[in-house]
Amino acid sequence: MKRSVYEGDDLTIDCTHNLPVGLRNLLVFVWLKDNHCLEGENNSNLTLKRVVTKTNGIYVCTIQSPCGNFTSDSREIKVEELTVVILVICGVSVSMCVRTDGELTVVIIVICGVSVSMCVRTDGELTVVIIVICGVSVSMCVRTDGELTVVIIVICGVSVSMCVRTDGELTVVIIVICGVSVSMCVRTDGELTVVIIVICGVSVSMCVRTDGDLTMLTIVICGVSAVVLILVLGIGMKIMLKKEFAKTKNRRQQNAQNLQSTTTTE
């Protein structure tokens, strides 16, 4: 028999049998998960607290009695991933705080004038998808020990502030069209991939710390403060190259003069 439960639920499995009641005190119960014995579980029922996807499996109870050994019917437990879907249309403020030990998927679709504040803590994989159209402020604080994927698609007048800490791989994809400020602080011990595509009037501020590989792709089109930063860096590099070229030229001239002086003396 298969039973579906959701992450964070408490689950109790009973070991059903038709043995005489008088033998109850003589019965020894042993629980197995996927043919592996669960140590310390010797009651007629098995209680699982705050189940996660790792709880998935086939559970069987064996009964040792004076009449012989018996095996109960198997129970297949399938823990469903926790999914949060928020659809907001016009003038709503959304505040959310989530704590889970398993996988978590958050999908937020916002249209017109909404403030979204989200605090998430999970030990499993986390996927966050935010689609914003028109006038929305998004503030997000995330802590996960598993893989993290963040996809933010913003169209028109949105401020996005994101603070992320993960021990696993992190993938951030931000697509911004028209008038958006993006501030991001990231800390990860795993691989980090950041893709930012910005079109028209966006300020991007980013602080990154990673102990793994870092891959970053930034595509900026039209009127973004990041362009100013790129220009400043470009101008700075150009000035440094000019100075280095001037120093090299002076050294060559000095060497030529020294060589000429030596030849004249001889």
Element (H, E) at 182: strand 180-188
Can you list the domains of the chain with their CATH numbers?
Answer: 2-79 (2.60.40.10), 82-229 (no CATH)
Return per-residue pLDDT of the chain as tens, 266 residues. 555 677 777 888 888 777 666 666 777 888 888 888 887 777 777 888 877 777 888 888 888 877 777 788 888 888 777 777 777 777 777 777 877 776 778 888 878 877 778 888 877 778 888 887 887 777 888 887 778 888 888 788 777 787 888 887 888 888 878 777 777 788 888 788 887 777 776 677 777 777 777 777 767 676 555 544 455 555 656 666 666 667 777 777 777 777 666 665 55
b/e sequence 178-204, b meaning 16+ C-beta within 10 Å: bbbbbebebbbbbbbebebbbbebbbb
Long-range CB pairs of 118-126 (<8 Å, 24+ gap) are 118/94, 118/142, 120/96, 120/144, 122/98, 122/146, 123/52, 124/52, 124/53, 124/100, 125/149, 125/168, 126/166
